[in-house]
A and B are shown apart, each in its own frame.
Chain A
Amino acid sequence: MGILIVIAQRTLYGLLLLLAVLVLNFTMINLAPGDVVDTIAADMGGASAELIAQIRAEYGLDQPVIVQLGNYIWRVFQFDLGHSYFYNRPVTEMIFARLPATLLLVFSAQIFALVVGILLGVFAAQRPNGLLSHIVTFFALFGYAAPVFWTGILLLIAFSLKIPLFPVAGMRDVTVEGFFPQALSVAHHLVLPMLTLGSIFIALYSRLCRASMLEVLGSDYVRTAKAKGLSPRDVTMKHALKNALPPVVTLAGLQFSAVISGAVLVETVFSWPGLGQLALTSILARDTPTILGILFFSALVVIVGNLLTDLVLRLIDPRVRAKA
């Protein structure tokens, strides 16, 4: 019962945030020099003043700003994000075609970074001044300082060109048929982009997990667990890790928007057919409806990601459950 109320509250708050994104989108369209009609007129190679006025009326641009905003929000709630002038297709249709690729990349990179980051952090915490600890510290610095697109290009040069283990570009081999061979092909294409995108976040998570584990390992109940004769493995994995995890999961939840930002760059390097690539081509083509639609959907992904993080936190941390 309690959990349903929390989910409902969070969803409602998420919807309010999305509404705010729409207001922001609308504001930006109106602040930016030139409007839809100018673009259309330019595409037609110029139009008379009457025709421009007629198109303005057709698009409702002659109405008061607040009415226009209401219309815009109402259209979005009917899943209509407008029409792309560049691709000549509805924006939602294009976004839905690209969304799965981005979701696959974003979530696989997050999960990969979490698993590797936590493992590295746990092992590094066993010996705070050991070799692995230093490697984790070094890797954390590397992950922060290396531009993600550069890491991607280096991996591409190393493992696609010099040692051709992985494909250079794309998401699947179109000649492959059947579900499993195709899934395998997608997984094969996913490896390098996932490694690249994950590298930044492995650095973050392993550093925090190490610090968090060190703190927990110093607490009284861990000493008790050791004193009653549990094996070091059980103490680490069953007792300490459970309490060291929540901060790491919280951080991971906060990183969703950063992961999507990184995905834009990674998609460009590896020609991964996701939202980031669509965003870039539509920005270069000045295709405003598509760009704003992508901003809206990426905010939606972040909000859903945050909601999922909350749920995971409730699963692993009884204190969060008790608070609500």
Chain B
Amino acid sequence: MSEQTQLKARSPFAEAFEMFRRNHAALAGLAVLLAIIAVAILGPVLYPGNPFDMVWAPFTTPGTEGYLLGTDYLGRDLLSLLIHGARVSLTVGLAAAFVTVTIGITIGALAGFYRGWVEEVLMRLTEFFQVLPTLLFSMVIVALFGASLLMITIAIGLVSWPAVARITRAEFLRIRELEYVTAARAGGVRNGGLMFRVILPNALPPIIVQAALMVGSAILFEAGLSFLGLTDPNVASWGQIIGSNRQYILDASYTVTVPGIAIFITVLAISLVGDGLNDALNPKLRER
């Protein structure tokens, strides 16, 4: 290693941050995402009132009478529904991604670390879950066990983990053979410590990227389920607005297109941030 590279060496986080900062698309995505999160947190304060209240005549077109986005088929303020729905959609997205990543990391880590029959069994299980169409499977879970937000979150997590498990396993397979793992093992670190304190932190970058994208997929997933009507009807989410107004697209298409734009922009922002993280955290790309 030459003198110069020694001087240049910085913490990997600073380096990743620098990469991310130079990516304009990712920065734009992050800005949009932060704005949406701010709306989700502050919205109910800035725009109080129950979004389910009927405030005006049904199908008031956007822009009239102070109702910026108009009203839906029950005369509910669409803007209020949208703002209050942001909180639900984002929360379900985050929580479902958390469930997904937790299951995926556990299964992938066990399979990649122990190899042998453990890996064989867990990877067969992963393949099995990949054969089941995710949306249908989660529809079945929600139908059998009830359409509460908690159940929807669990259902999304239960059907989406295979991708995370595969990535985690691949990383574990690669890292477990590295010298510092052997050194740690020789130093007396037990299996649990090796898995979660030695290998996992080094396996995290691709998992973080996948987790970020999972939040987007989970938001789309929740929207799909609620579009079909498989959701808690007493909680406003973006998909639920679309689902409940579905029959009226002939009369008032904006009740469906507007919440769709909210979902689209949010998921787009998340995937831009995810792509940016991918470039920033993937050391192979850094030299380019």
| A1-57 CB contacts (< 8 Å) to partner B | 17, 20-21, 24, 28-29, 31-33
Residue ID in chain A nearest B147 by CB atoms: A283
Residue ID in chain A nearest B139 by CB atoms: A283
- Cβ contact within 8 Å between A145 and B267: yes
Interface size range of chain A in the complex: 35 or more
Q: Per-residue CB proximity of A278-317 to B under 8 Å, as 1/0? A: 0110011010100110110011001100100000000000
- Give 15 A-B pairs besides A261-B224, A295-B133 with Cβ atoms closer than 8 angstroms: A17-B128, A28-B140, A33-B145, A145-B264, A147-B264, A147-B267, A157-B249, A260-B133, A264-B136, A265-B228, A291-B144, A295-B137, A299-B131, A302-B131, A303-B131
Instruction: Identify the stretch in B66-74, B107-115, B171-179, B250-258 within 8 Å (CB) of chain A at 4 or more residues.
Output: B250-258
Q: Which residues of B contact A276 (CB under 8 A)?
A: 136
- Cβ contact within 8 Å between B140 and A292: yes
Q: Per-residue CB proximity of B141-166 to A under 8 Å, as 1/0? A: 11111000000000000000000000
Nearest chain A CB to B132's CB is how many angstroms away?
6
Question: Cβ of B230 < 8 Å from any Cβ of A?
Answer: yes
Q: Per-residue CB proximity of A147-184 to B under 8 Å, as 1/0? A: 11110011011000100000000000000000000000
Query: Which of B133, B143, B230, B260 interacts with A147 by CB under 8 Å?
Result: B260
Compute how far the CA of A147 lies from the CA of B250 in the bound complex, rounded to whole angstroms. Answer: 19
Q: Which residues of A contact B268 (CB under 8 A)?
A: 141-142, 145
Question: Cβ of A59 < 8 Å from any Cβ of B?
Answer: no
Question: Cβ of B199 < 8 Å from any Cβ of A?
Answer: no
- Cβ contact within 8 Å between B135 and A265: yes
- Cβ contact within 8 Å between A17 and B257: no
Q: Which residues of A contact B239 (CB under 8 A)?
A: 147
Residues of B within 8 A of A (CB): 127-128, 130-137, 139-145, 216, 220, 223-224, 227-230, 239, 242, 249-250, 253, 256-257, 260, 263-265, 267-268, 271-272
- Cβ contact within 8 Å between A17 and B127: yes
Residue ID in chain A nearest B224 by CB atoms: A265
Q: Which has the most chain A C-beta neighbours within 10 Å: B130, B131, B224, B267?
A: B131
Residue ID in chain A nearest B138 by CB atoms: A261
Q: Which residues of B contact A20 (CB under 8 A)?
A: 128
Residue ID in chain B nearest A29 by CB atoms: B144
Nearest chain A CB to B241's CB is how many angstroms away?
12
Question: Cβ of A257 < 8 Å from any Cβ of B?
Answer: yes
A299 with B132, Cβ < 8 A, contacts A141-B272, A291-B143 known:
yes
Nearest chain B CB to A27's CB is how many angstroms away?
11
Question: Cβ of A254 < 8 Å from any Cβ of B?
Answer: yes
Between A and B, 24 residue pairs with Cβ closer than 8 Å are A17-B127, A20-B128, A21-B128, A32-B145, A141-B268, A142-B268, A145-B265, A146-B267, A147-B223, A147-B263, A149-B223, A149-B224, A153-B257, A157-B257, A254-B130, A257-B132, A257-B133, A260-B135, A264-B135, A280-B228, A283-B140, A295-B133, A299-B133, A306-B131
